[in-house]
Each structure stands twice: as C-alpha cells, then as structure tokens.
Amino acid sequence: MTSEQCNRIFEQVIDDYHQYNDIYADPQNPFSENTIEDLMYAKCWIDTMQWHMEDEIRNPGIQPVEAVKWKRAIDHSNQLRTDIVEDIDVYFLDKFKEVTPSETARFNTESPAGAIDRLSILALKIYHMRLETVRTDATEAHIAKCRQKLFVLMQQQTDLSLAIDELLEDIANGDKYMKVYRQMKMYNDPALNPVLYNNKK
C-alpha cells in the first residue's frame, strides 16, 4: 500500500459518495473484506459522511432537536473513524511483524494510519475546494482565493504522501518502528462518561 494507492481509493470514494450525495447512502465498497483496500475505502467513506454532517450542524437556522441529532451522529461517526484508524495500524503492525528494528531505530511521532487519516481529509478538502473554484454564483475574488487555497492543499497532499511513503519504507527497513496507540475515547462509553453512568442511578 502506497500513498498513491491511498489517494486513488480516496478519490474513488468521494466520487462514489457524490453520486448519491446522501449521508445515509450505503457504501458500495468494491474491495474484498478484510483487505487494506477495504479498510481505506471504509475509512474515507466515514470521513465523507462526517464532512457533510459537519455542514448540516452549522446551518444557522437549525432547530435544537435537529442539532442534537447531528451532534450524536457525528459522535458515532468519530468513534467509527477512530476504530478504523486503529484497524489500519493493526494491519501495518502485522505487515511489518517480521522486521527487526535496528539498534538506532527511532519512533515516529505519528503512526502510518494517523498520517493516512490526514491524507483522507486532505482529499476531501481538495475535492470541495475545487468545487469552489468553478462556482458561477461567486465573485472573481472568491474564485481567486479558492484557487490559491487549492494550490496549497495540493502541495500539502504531495508532501504528506511523500512523508507516508518514507515512513513505511523506514519501518520496512527497520530504521523506524511503530505501535498501535489506542485512542480509548471516553465520551461514548457509558462506563467511562460520568454524565452517562450517573444518569443510570
């Protein structure tokens, strides 16, 4: 799995989603279950759904009940997103399990899946910023500003893609090592969120 493959899958997901443009549409994941491609597709689909949930909750005319509905949906999506990032790191940890790190191997501040998570979000930013550059109802100043932002985002994608490939190569060569860091989010857990477990009494 290279960054190029990741970016290609992420673009496919975003295009697939916008055929429906429906937060509740069922993803038509074309990849075999339990493969890294399957995980990448599912990861970006969650991100794409959540992108549009975040748009909905920022509607200035939203009613409180509707806002609560979207907030809870976003919380659920965040949990799914966290879980699948961990699953991707588990995949890489297993992939490199036979590699013996060198005595000078260093630990990276971000895991492979953490960086891939950011790459998925960048794909979404690029897609939506590109849409802003072709709006017919926006000013030339707006279009120009969005073109500049799109250029920056695409450069960020290039840089992050290279960094991911270099990190995976370093791990494969034993120059760096990785771990799976569990997020252990507490707010969704009725046993760990005091508001939830105190309300049971």
Please state the pTM of the whole predicted model. Answer: 0.91
CA angle 43, 46, 51 (to 5 degrees): 125
d(CA 171, CA 109): 13
Q: Quote the pLDDT of residue 170.
A: 97
Tell me how crowded residue 75 is: count the other CB atoms within 10 A of its CB: 12
When pLDDT is averaged across residues 70-74 and rounded to a whole number, the result is 95
pLDDT digits (tens, 9 = 90+) for 148-193: 999 999 999 999 999 999 999 999 999 999 988 787 777 777 786 7
Domain ranges of the chain: 3-190
Q: Quote the pLDDT of residue 201.
A: 58
